[in-house]
Amino acid sequence: MSFFHPIYALPYTTIVPTDDVIVDNPTERTTNSTSYVRVKESRIFCRGKIRVYFEIRTTASGYAANGWVYRNDVAVGTERSTTSTTYVSFTEDIDGWFEGDCCRIYGKIGTTAQTCYIRNQQIKGQLTRQILLLGWAVL
């Protein structure tokens, strides 16, 4: 005797990194903190690997402005730094995102007498539709 349970098709959306902008958060934000603080945030509504882009600059050359991508409140990717007074762009592909995660940019400056500027946070990628098939048979 054998029984077969029907297969269920569960659709879900994934993302793969491309140069297509999905989320654009252009507003300039600043911090005078010498330890990392949240400066920008965008929520992710799919799973997969995204391309994160942001721009950073400092008030005065010689003082490093730092930026780092965080998933929720955990640092991921590579710490970025510049001593430029004009915006410098950084891009990185980061895997392991799930629905509801927050992609945050944290920033800091070397001295409270200067300011770290961060703008143009973008999440880039292409959405793809996936189907998860579930089912089983008893033989």
Task: Read off the tokens for 138.
Answer: 């008893």
Neighbours of 89 (CB within 10 A): 13
Would you state the pLDDT for residue 130? 75
Bridge partner residues of 123 (DSSP):
23, 52
Give domain limits for the chain: 16-126
- CA proximity to 9, closest of 136, 133, 135: 133
- For the chain, which ranges sit under pLDDT 50? none
Would you state the pLDDT for residue 6? 58
Q: How far apart are CA 86 and CA 83, in angstroms?
A: 9
- CA proximity to 59, closest of 19, 93, 38, 86: 86
pTM above 0.75, yes or no: yes
Q: How far apart are CA 138 and CA 69, in angstroms?
A: 47
Would you state the pLDDT for residue 77? 87
Overall fold of domain 16-126: Jelly Rolls (2.60.120)
State how beta strands 29-31 and 47-58 pair: unpaired
Structure letter (DSSP) for residue 36 = -
Instruction: Determine if residue 111 is left, alpha or beta; phi over 0 gives left, psi from -120 to 50 gives alpha, anything else beta.
Output: beta
